[in-house]
Amino acid sequence: MNAEQPTRRYSGVTWHAKKWLAKLRHNGKDLNLGHYEDPEDAAWVADFARYMCFGLNPVNWHHNTKKPNFPPRISWSIPRVVILKRLLSAQTISVEVLERRLAEYDSLIEHNVRP
């Protein structure tokens, strides 16, 4: 049986092992952020990881990433702590920077401001 691969619609998301894989490219390496049933969940995870690693301004992101898939948002089905733990365990960001960016992210959401 030759099943077709679903079409990729989101940046940082690929089809892998019959699920959507969220990835982040950091210092020349791909960081696996997990497999998800829903491509939008994977896209949100990829965006959130980029916001945390590279800041809230997408201009600072990888040159292949033209813009985030979604603006910062408070509603998600994936706990943020899972993503934060992956970023910290891969040593992509320090705790101090992560705390600061998380506060900035939450402030944007609280004030409904887009980066």
pLDDT in tens, the chain (115 residues): 345 567 778 999 999 999 999 999 888 888 999 999 999 999 999 999 999 999 988 888 877 777 899 888 766 667 888 899 999 999 999 999 999 999 999 888 887 665 5
Is 4 inside any structural domain?
Answer: no
Task: Please tell me the total count of domains within the chain.
Answer: 1
What is the token pair recorded at 52? Answer: 């945390």
Is 107 inside any structural domain?
Answer: yes
C-alpha span between 9 and 108 (Å, rounded)? 25
Is 20 inside any structural domain?
Answer: yes
Q: 55: domain range?
A: 13-111
Which letter does DSSP use for residue 70 in this model? Answer: S
Is 8 inside any structural domain?
Answer: no
Is 35 inside any structural domain?
Answer: yes
Is 99 inside any structural domain?
Answer: yes
